[in-house]
Amino acid sequence: MGSWSSGGVIATNNYWGAASGPGPDPADNVCAGTVAVTPFATTPFNVANPLQVQSVYRIHTGGGAYTNSAGLLFIGDSYFNTGSVVTTTAAIANTTDGPLYQSQRTDAAAAPELQYSIAVPQGTYTVKLFFAEIVATGAGQRVFNVRLENTTVLTNFDIFTAAGGANKAITRSFNVTVTDGTLNITFLHVTGDPLVAAIEVLPH
Ligand SMILES: [Ca+2]
Ligand SMILES: [Ca+2]
């Protein structure tokens, strides 16, 4: 094994390494001796608490895993602190991904406010929020604010008004810089309870 000097190898030891090439040189005293070379272990090593940090997230808030019409997987609802699920069987206009909007996360007025805390590397991200009003029947019944990190990006947001009625999909996208390793998306009550259908996080 050409890369090892004979003086650095002990005959009674097992050595771990990747063997490649045409094989031992018959003239090499090391490989001609009794040194045993064993391959790398084939079982992946385990880390007790692996960091689940990534820079792309798609989350079906208030629902289960869903693959959208573009073939992109939205994982089932994760990373939230509170709230409950609200659903509808009504068709959702202005989207080819109705199921994404037919099951959503809402949050009652009692503390705490609904917040998603998503581990990301430091950087700037585009956060896309998906909305459709599936409960309220008129403007002004559900009004809320949304904050990304320490910046309010939606003030007095009324899904019904923004989408032009109930059961109509609408999205809003914002850029945000994360410096503390956690993207925080907070939904704050104004009138009624906040409601969100899905969240997408992409590097900006
Ligand atoms: Ca709450
Ligand atoms: Ca943060």
What is the domain partition of the chain in residue ranges? Answer: 8-38, 57-203
Distance between CA atoms of residues 90 and 101, nearest Å:
10
For the cut 50, the answer to whether the pLDDT of residue 3 exceeds it is: no
How far is ligand 2, taken at its centre, from the CA of residue 26, in Å? 61
Q: pTM score, two decimals? A: 0.76
For the cut 50, the answer to whether the pLDDT of residue 175 exceeds it is: yes
Residues 94-110 have pLDDT tens digits of: 999 999 999 999 999 99
What is the average per-residue pLDDT within 183-193? 98
How far is ligand 1, taken at its centre, from the CA of residue 92, in Å? 26
Q: What is the third-level CATH fold of 57-203? A: Jelly Rolls (2.60.120)
How far is ligand 1, taken at its centre, from the CA of residue 162, in Å? 23
Binned at pLDDT 50, 70 and 90, residue 16 comes out as very low
Distance between CA atoms of residues 196 and 193, nearest Å:
10
Distance between CA atoms of residues 54 and 142, nearest Å:
33
- Torsion angle (degrees, nearest 10) of CA 77, 80, 85, 88: -60
Binned at pLDDT 50, 70 and 90, residue 179 comes out as very high
How far is ligand 2, taken at its centre, from the CA of residue 178, in Å? 6
- Note the Cα 183 to chain centre separation in Å: 11
For the cut 60, the answer to whether the pLDDT of residue 33 exceeds it is: no
